[in-house]
Structure 1
Amino acid sequence: MATDIDIIKGRQTVLVTGCTPGGIGHAVAQEFHARGLHVIATARRAEVLEDLARQGMSTFELDVTKADSIAACKQQVAALTGGRLDILVNNAGMGYVTPATDIDLDEVRAVFETNVFGVMAMVQAFVPLLIPARGLIINISSLSSLTPYVFASVYSSSKGAINSYSRTLRQELRPFGIRVMVSITGTVRSQTGNKQTHRTLPPGSLYQHIRDVFERRLTWSQNNGTVETPCFAKQLVSEALRGEGWLGGWLGGTRNWFWAGGLATQVWLAKFFGEWLLDEITYRRFGMNKLAAIVKAQGIKRSP
């Protein structure tokens, strides 16, 4: 009787975190599956993975903020694959749209637990499985890590941390043949992008004068150059499967920095002109000039 290891023998394996339906992880898992890889799809709640299981993927419950959950997942994956993993996609993440002066530190810690510490913990756990396969780590970052994404300072800083972490991680893992790709992700259709609509400004917020701007900002990523999730997934998977390339990865291999999604090309081009251009564009696009005019006209000052 064939074992699970026999069934996937000869196929590359990929583990994707955060595969809730409607999100990037779900679409990426489906695209890898369509390309013939053995996909291990994970999410905090096993029941949301039922459709992926019906398609023939392996599914495991995984909470990247809990050490015991990561350890259990690693054990399951190692048993399934014979101790190898070709690709690890760190996609699980949390959004947080709130002005920097109105943040709740408990929520901030939750964002960093998922977006930063969860990634670090997954890498630490699964590197022993990636080494035998000379594998690839894909960390999902965001355009907001490189632009002043107004009212998302917490989310942006968590993704900025991933950029810096990944750059150093890439050098540390090079001797072992492991590659690290960072996806600088633009606006992509996603259920995650609509999960912030419950947020409101607190009564004493500095931004009550532009409450309408804040409310539009809550779903901004879903209404500005937004790329459909399957389209983004096809691009990311195609990049991931380019492999190691030649001349130590200098030619033809998977790029270290992958730019895709809505507005990615515009930001990539604008950054060559300096930070001032992106600062000015976002200042106006997110209504800060409107607030500045109100502050000037009304002589608004915050009470000590």
Structure 2
Amino acid sequence: MTKDQKFALVTGCGRGGIGEGLVTEYKRRGIHPIATVLPNEASDHLSEAGITFFPLDVTVEKSVVDLKAAVQKLTGGRLDVLVNCAGIAYTMPAIDTDVVAVQKMFDINLFGPMRMVHHFHGMLIQAKGTIVNIGSIGGVIPFIYGSSYNASKAALHHWGNTLRAEMAPLGVKVLTVISGEVSTNILKSDSHRKLPEGSYYSALAESFQQHVVRTPKGATDRFDYASHVVAESLKASPTPWFWYGSNSFVIRLIDMFCWRSVWDTMMWNMFGLGRLAKAHSAIMKKIV
């Protein structure tokens, strides 16, 4: 390694995800990418691409500490970019939430980035580097069935806001990516979800099942997404919130210039909530 070599560490680089696209793009730009995968996750896609990788579970303190030691040895104690990309989804109406499952999601989506920054901040300060948090339009709009996931991303956005202000005096930049729909496999691990028996949302059970196994139409290609995110992360002064991906531009405009309640009408129509209202009204009339 030359003294001028830069390093980018990206969490959550399983096959078919955003992380894989990001490390591929960093390598293309001459940055030495360091990928992480879960300890029991396939890594052949990374070894075949000649990308350095290490096992990591962001929910386990020791796993993060072990990764830090490995990265320090590789980079000489500095890190130019940290991308907090590891994440999972949780799809369910808010009133039917399994809190234990959501706690696990928060441990990955929110507390994982917190652990990474806690342990790697010294290396980032040494390099005057950049922290990139992969957020979502879900953290901005009330996407139906995504209340818990939306909450994890909204928390990440606003934690990143304060982190950005606090790291500025230390020479470290913080970039929050507000991602639109990107073509990845994140929904696969959530495709088994079913409404619980007796749910108030039972009238929409069929459309809910279609939703959890959907392939988002018009989703942005993950490698296209990666090229734009990486380019922004390497700027001397990246924008605080970088919006990119399918529908992100329109959502940004609506969020800036419209009443919050505009989303209620849009979600009502998009998810057929009128059918739920009619079904619920009919049930209540029978009870009375």
| TM-score bracket relative to the smaller structure | over 0.9
- 1:153 deviates by 0.9
Q: Distance in 1 between matches of 2:234 and 2:210?
A: 37
Q: Distance in 2 between matches of 1:183 and 1:47?
A: 25
1:228 match = 221
Q: Which moved more, 1:133-142 or 1:268-277?
A: 268-277
| Runs of 5+ consecutive residues of structure 2 not aligned to the other structure | none
- 1:232 deviates by 0.8
**Which digits, 9 at most, give the CA deviation of each residue in 1:40-99, with x for residues without a partner?**
000113652232123222110011000000000001001110000000000001100011
1:147 correspondence with 2:141: yes
1:267 match = 251
Check the 8 A contact 2:14/2:41 in 1, yes or no: no
1:172 match = 166
2:264 match = 279
Q: Distance in 1 between matches of 2:246 and 2:285?
A: 36
Q: Distance in 1 between matches of 2:285 and 2:272?
A: 17
- 1:301 deviates by 8.4
Check the 8 A contact 1:20/1:49 in 2, yes or no: yes
Q: Show structure 1 runs of 4+ deviating over 6 A.
A: none
1:130 correspondence with 2:130: no
SS across alignment from 1:84: coil
Counterpart residue identity of residue 17, structure 2: G
Q: 2:233 aligns with which of 237, 240, 245?
A: 240
Check the 8 A contact 2:188/2:213 in 1, yes or no: yes
Check the 8 A contact 1:188/1:232 in 2, yes or no: yes
SS across alignment from 1:258: strand
Decide whether aligned partners of structure 1 residues 270 and 301 sit closer, same or farther in structure 2, where only a CA change above 3 A counts. Answer: farther
SS across alignment from 1:268: helix
1:295 correspondence with 2:280: yes
Counterpart residue identity of residue 224, structure 2: C
Number of equivalent positions: 287
Q: Distance in 2 between matches of 1:268 and 1:105?
A: 30
Q: Distance in 2 between matches of 1:301 and 1:274?
A: 37
2:11 match = 17
- 1:289 deviates by 2.1
Check the 8 A contact 1:41/1:49 in 2, yes or no: no
Q: Distance in 2 between matches of 1:228 and 1:195?
A: 20
Q: Distance in 2 between matches of 1:275 and 1:288?
A: 18
2:241 match = 257
Decide whether aligned partners of structure 1 residues 98 and 282 sit closer, same or farther in structure 2, where only a CA change above 3 A counts. Answer: same
1:4 match = none
Counterpart residue identity of residue 141, structure 1: G
TM-score by length of 1: 0.90
Q: Percent identity?
A: 36
1:70 match = 64
Q: Which moved more, 1:153-162 or 1:98-107?
A: 98-107
Q: Distance in 2 between matches of 1:276 and 1:286?
A: 16
SS across alignment from 1:192: coil
SS across alignment from 1:184: strand
RMSD: 1.7
SS across alignment from 1:85: coil
- 1:225 deviates by 2.9
Check the 8 A contact 1:46/1:60 in 2, yes or no: no
Counterpart residue identity of residue 16, structure 2: G
- 1:167 deviates by 0.4
1:3 match = none
| Runs of 5+ consecutive residues of structure 1 not aligned to the other structure | 1-6, 245-252
Q: Distance in 2 between matches of 1:300 and 1:38?
A: 65
Q: Distance in 2 between matches of 1:63 and 1:224?
A: 31
Decide whether aligned partners of structure 1 residues 10 and 204 sit closer, same or farther in structure 2, where only a CA change above 3 A counts. Answer: same
Q: Distance in 2 between matches of 1:109 and 1:47?
A: 22
Q: Distance in 1 between matches of 2:71 and 2:25?
A: 20
